[in-house]
Amino acid sequence: MAETTRTRSARETELLERAKRRLPGGVLGTARYAADAAFIVKRGTGSKIYDVSGREYIDYVLASGPLILGHAHPAVVAAVREQIEGGSTYYMVNEPIIQLAEEICRAMPCAEQVRFTSTGSEATFFALRVARTFRKRDKILKFEGGYHGAHDYGMMSSAPRSPKAFPAPVPDSSGIPHSIEAEVLIAPYNDLGTVEGIIAAHADELAAVIVEPFQRLVPPQPGFLQGLREITRRHGVLLVFDEVVTGFRLAYGGAQEYYGVVPDLAAIGKIVGGGFPLAAVCGAEELMRPFDPQYDGTGDFISQSGTLNGNPIAAVAGLATLAELRKPGAYDTIHGTGKRLMAGLTELAQKAGLPAQVVGEPVVFDLLFTDEPVVDYRSLQKADGARGKAFTTELIKRGVVKNSQKMYVSLVHSAEDVATTLQACEDALKALPKMKASA
């Protein structure tokens, strides 16, 4: 690391205390780091972030995924600087957002038209509204452990503490109307037999099946997505891919290209906004048509608007990001970096003699402390969470920051970053045997 000390400054300690007073839990979402590892971000450049105390971290959070080019990429900064001179937002159609819509349609196999939103939660919410409009049905099926944003439907069984028998859902937040439970069915990921049984029993009520094609950390088993596509098509139920994470990450055409399965609708976000608030629903013109205001009053009109939808700054940032990803070798570089990290982590875990495995794809993965196969939410939950949190904390102390259960890889993570990260991982793993295994 560039700095000579890992000591927290008085200024940063003060800011942490101020955050606790004014932000619930002192955080912006649900994730928090251990008290002795918490810090306040000051700035980011490339693959690094720096805190208020001047400490440097190799960043595998990447703002929860959008920054596939790293922080303050020159192409993105230049595009944003040029656009902001002409105004920050218009609430009207503008040239950059048209160009971005065209690029999304070129990239995503399912896309003929695009409807922009500001967040991934909105994108999945409106994708389901499209499906209900088309099918004239209310129920949706989602997969246990799948996260589709913070709306009421998405927060059903996304992280249940006490899962029910399938297909009953469990609300994961207070404040969700009980009536929503009757409209959501839950299935186990990577289990086609159970999924087919649920869909067959409820096909006449189902509008859509929504799935993260790569669910959090769990890749699809061979044939799972293909089978899901065949089952939904046979029953006339729409298939929605939540590609907020996977869009433009696994491949330029997202999970649809990477896994070779084309859904009816997709929700995309994160990378497509280049680090600014932007997401979208995309699909065939027939499905997207009800967004057209000329259908207002027909009974099929989908009302959707937002002050910052189609924001030109986000659009130019997204366009600049996608242009970098289209350059020859970009995805080979990202996947290559991820593969080296995954292989190194696997070797270190084996060397440490711990029951652990690396789970995920080269672009998004983590080390899980379990030796049992991880194929769905329930097997994922068998991992030793206490060790996982301690590992994350020990890495932060050594200048490597990641989410509590996810590492994102960027185009700018270097060979030196990989070597430094693996050394930090080795040192962090050595600290873990001092812990008692969690029950």
Catalytic residues, which ones? Answer: 147, 242, 270
- Cis-peptide, bond into residue 167, ω within 30° of zero: yes
3-state secondary structure at position 224: helix
Would you say 59 and 49 are in contact if contact means Cβ atoms under 8 Å apart?
yes
Q: How many CA atoms lie within 13 A of 322 on its CB side?
A: 26
Phi and psi torsions of 317, nearest 5°:
-65, -40
The stretches of 68-112 forming alpha helices (DSSP H) are 74-84, 95-107
C-alpha span between 187 and 172 (Å, rounded): 16
Our CA angle for 10, 15, 16, nearest 5°, is 95
Q: Which residues contact 23 (CB under 8 A, 6 or more apart)?
A: none
C-alpha span between 210 and 118 (Å, rounded): 20
Query: What residues does 56 pair with on adjacent strands?
Result: 50
In the block, tokens 């690396």 appear at 358
Of 210, 161, 202, the C-alpha closest to 182 is 202
> DSSP per residue over 105-130, as a string?
HHH-TT-SEEEEESSHHHHHHHHHHH
